[in-house]
Amino acid sequence: MSFLADVHTRAGASVRRIVFPEAHDERTRAAVVDLHRRRLVEPILVLDPTMAESHAAIRALGLEVRDPASDELTARAAARLHERRAGRLTKDAALGLLHTPLFFADALVADGQADGCVAGATHTTGDVLRAALWLVGPKDGVRTVSSSFYMIVPPFRGSGESEVLTFTDCAVVRYPSATELADIAIAAAADRVRIVGDEPLVAFLSFSTRGSADGPSVDSVRAAVAEVRSRAPHLAVDGELQGDAALASLVAARKAPGSPVAGRANVLVFPSLDAGNIAYKLVQRLAGASAIGPIIQGLRQPCSDLSRGAVVDDIINVAAITALQVAGPAMATNVSRQERTS
């Protein structure tokens, strides 16, 4: 079974409630119809009060629809947001934000009425992250919210089968400190267990392998590796490693003998957003890899970001992965038909 087929099967086993704030977008509507038909997730669609012309098409899908303009949650969530950001956001500004589909969708997640959110087809990553951080917030103990791409790459290690590599962080943290790099690696490893289901083998990448060069970025990577080993001693981790030492066994034997991950790494931690973003786009275009993400990691409940160039299949795949990120049992649905179509 392929990686994506396995993701879909496992997502369908729990059928999480996932909210989509971009229901005015044709790609999103096509994706949620397929997600509902295949019982991969239970979609919730949010109306945009400023785009009344899209409401009929959204309601015609026959799925659960929520309207921020009339929903009882809007005022309650706005009051909570104002309280959390007192001094930085007026009551009127908070209420205005809760009338937007993106903030209202994340309020549903924060309130426990949805398991997760998928957005980004028509919003920037900054918009998606801002709403998620202000309303849902990070998990307890998490200081750094970051992201990963799940790269489905052609065979390159002699197995004859495609592989799934985690590239992190490629979308959120621009110039991470050593502690932030450690946070990113630990979060990516934890999500890989949920999403891919195998053992994370974590390689911190650099232009240096085990002391072959020096510099501030190398020092930061070394400090991050030491911190991960202290905070998460169960993880298989090594660094600093060059890309070839992390991925190719023959090179690893020469450059990093005895490494627990060199030549076998499946989680690649990049030293900066520059490196990670450039790498995933090069691998996607030159190697014909499929890039699934960015998948946001470290939030209390998952709120995923899409590329604004996403196609229908991208939305379906990210929604299924979002469902796998959810912790705990599937929530019960006690919403009446009248409420579902309000």
**Cβ distance 283 to 274 under 8 Å?**
no
pLDDT at 279: 96
pLDDT band (50, 70, 90) for residue 328: low
Work out the average pLDDT over 201-226: 95
**Cβ distance 284 to 137 under 8 Å?**
no
Domain annotation for the chain: domains and CATH numbers: 3-137+301-330 (3.40.50.10950), 146-292 (3.40.50.10750)
Task: Convert the pLDDT of each residue in 251-263 to its tens digit.
Answer: 999 999 999 999 9
> Which DSSP symbol is given to 54?
G
pLDDT at 113: 97
Q: pTM value?
A: 0.87
Phi, psi of 233 (to 5 degrees): -65, -15
pLDDT band (50, 70, 90) for residue 140: confident
pLDDT band (50, 70, 90) for residue 339: very low
Task: Give the mean pLDDT of the chain.
Answer: 92
- Quote the percentage of the chain above a pLDDT of 90: 86
Strand residue runs (E) in 125-261: 146-153, 163-168, 201-205, 236-241
Euclidean distance between CA atoms 66 and 70, whole angstroms: 8
Q: Which of 112, 110, 114, 111 is nearest to 134 (CA)?
A: 110
- Order across the sheet with 41-46: list the strands: 64-66, 41-46, 16-20, 116-119, 303-305
Burial class of residue 316 in the structure, from the number of CB atoms within 10 Å of its CB (0-12 exposed, 13-18 middle, 19+ buried): buried
Euclidean distance between CA atoms 74 and 95, whole angstroms: 7
Q: Which of 337, 303, 254 is nearest to 63 (CA)?
A: 337
Work out the average pLDDT over 173-193: 95
pLDDT of 6 > 60? The answer is: yes
**Cβ distance 268 to 166 under 8 Å?**
yes
Angle formed by the axes of helices 26-37 and 312-325, nearest 10°: 60
Distances (CA, A) of 86 to 43, 76, 79, 89, 217: 33, 15, 10, 6, 38
pLDDT at 307: 85
* String of DSSP letters for 137-170: -BPTT----EEEEEEEE---SSSSS-EEEEEE-S
pLDDT at 334: 38
Q: Which of 103, 111, 148 is nearest to 301 (CA)?
A: 111
Burial class of residue 324 in the structure, from the number of CB atoms within 10 Å of its CB (0-12 exposed, 13-18 middle, 19+ buried): buried
Q: Give the tokens for residue 128.
A: 């998606």
Query: Which residue shows structure tokens 């309303």?
Result: 135
